[in-house]
Amino acid sequence: MESVVVGVQPAQAPTRVMADVREAMRRALVPFLVSRLIIVAILALVPVILAIPAEEWRTSDSISIKLNGKAIAEGLQRLAHANDAGWYTDIARNGYEQRPFDTTKQANWAFFPLHPYLWRGAAAVTGEWVWSGIVLANALSFLGLSLLWLLVRRLTDSGERADDAVLFAAFWPSAYFMVLPHTESLFFAAVTLSFLAAKSQRWWLAGLAGMFAGATRLNGLFLMPALFARWWHSPRRAADLLMLAPIGFGLLAFSLYLWGITGNALAFKDIQVTWGRELTMPWVALLDYLDKPLRVASPWNPKVVHFGATVLAIASIVTCWRRGWRGLAVFTALTLMAPLLTGTLMSMTRYLGVAPGVFVALSVWAGESRRVGQLCLVVSGIALTLLCTAFAAGLNLGGA
């Protein structure tokens, strides 16, 4: 087990920090570009292929598929407003729905404000909506991968392990959501920055990044117990703990706003019932899958992929805890518990795709056994290809 740092680490010189950042960006660039090129190719090609009738494929030898700029643009634009992105587009353009709270229909109160408002800001600069959201998402995705490289490099003291972690994150089964204007890129970057800052004993930055995460998703609050666990194994100065208080400010501000426009400060939570989500015991979803393991998928729920991600997450929690990375273990555990408490495995892979501890553990396993690492990467790449293809085809398989 890695020994826990008990002293405050000296602040690095600015030139050293910048050198580390440049190195991280350089090492993250190739996995980022390769994975995004594959994802973009799938998102562009699948709709073009589906537009040709099956009968024509069987009778004509003159069919040709061209992957050009128009196909790419149309493929990305068509999906840029799909599923959750449609809600965020509405918030970015029109703001939140202002009416007394009720649960007779779905409302955009369930979606947190930082991502759509950043999107609005980008669109105000460019004068365009779709590509502003896509470029913003990909820039934040690259930032998140670079921060992950830095985090793993400092945790393991190994550039090779950091390379592995970035590779696993870039080809995670739900990575295609980071190409489109969803919250994954922003949330992952904020959470990873928070852990990186805590590792360096920069608690003010950890709290600030946590505030951004909390204004992006409710799960940002999981950083409070996670970073408390990190603080507990540090010199435990009260002033440092107070610097983590901003983590809750994003949620507090959003709650006050919702109270003003709906009369319900918890509208973001209470409206969830309109999506059919209610609290239940966390083992219900797991037992449901184990009872019928051959039922590998249902609408919006590729169960076999989500179940595999769940098992992997549990193993990653154990690995991080044993190595002394208690904060990462706590964050992954809470991230895993959130969807399980709704009685379904739905969206599990998306939830876990923004938990840095999963990729830290995968990099450790790859270091211990290259074959295990290669197997995990191959399986993840296959799942990514299948889910991304289904998403591009408009199939209700892995879209949630």
Give residue-wise pLDDT tens across range 329-354: 999 999 999 888 888 888 899 999 99
Q: Are 152 and 165 in contact (CB under 8 A)?
A: yes
In the predicted structure, residue 61 carries a pLDDT above the cut 80: no
The number of C-alpha atoms within 13 Å of 346 and in the hemisphere containing its C-beta is 14
How many angstroms separate the CA atoms of 162 and 261, rounded?
Answer: 45
Mean pLDDT of 269-292: 81
Helix, strand, coil share (%) of the chain residues, nearest 5: 70, 0, 30
Given this model, what pLDDT does residue 6 score? 40
Q: What burial letters (b/e) apply to 83-122, b meaning 16+ CB within 10 Å? A: bbbebbbbbbeeebeeeebeeeeebbbbbbbbbbebbbeb
- Write down the pLDDT at residue 3: 39
**pLDDT higher than threshold 70 for residue 11:** no
Phi/psi for 346 (5° steps) reads -55, 135
Exposure on the CB side of residue 270, measured as CA atoms within 13 A: 14
Residue 8 pLDDT class (50, 70, 90 cuts): very low
Asked if pLDDT for residue 272 goes beyond 50, the answer is: yes
User: How many residues are given for the chain?
Assistant: 400
**pLDDT above 90 coverage of the chain, percent:** 65
- The partner residues of 298 in beta bridges, in order of sequence, read 301
Q: What are 339's two structure tokens?
A: 């969807």
State the pLDDT at residue 285: 82
pLDDT level of residue 400 (50, 70, 90 thresholds): low
> Is the pLDDT at 73 greater than 90, yes or no?
no
For the chain, give the mean pLDDT.
Answer: 89
d(CA 306, CA 321): 22
Average pLDDT for 213-238:
93
In angstroms, the CA 109 to CA 182 distance is 16
One-letter amino acid at 50 equals L
State yes or no: pLDDT of 86 exceeds 90: no
Sequence letter at residue 165: A
Average pLDDT over residues 285-307: 84
Lowest mean pLDDT: which of 186-190, 246-250, 284-288?
Answer: 284-288
Which range, of 188-202, 279-293, 348-362, averages the lowest pLDDT? 279-293
Token pair recorded at residue 325: 């990375």
Short-list 152, 183, 179, 186, CA closest to 166: 152
pLDDT score at 398: 63
Which tokens sit at 184?
């994954």
Sign of torsion over alpha carbons 161, 3, 144, 327? positive
Q: Per-residue pLDDT tens for 126-167? A: 988 889 999 999 999 999 999 999 999 999 999 999 999 999
pTM: 0.91
Residues in CB range of 326: below 8 A, 6 or more apart: 229, 230, 232, 233, 320
Q: 21-35, 188-202, 247-261, 292-306: lowest mean pLDDT where?
A: 292-306
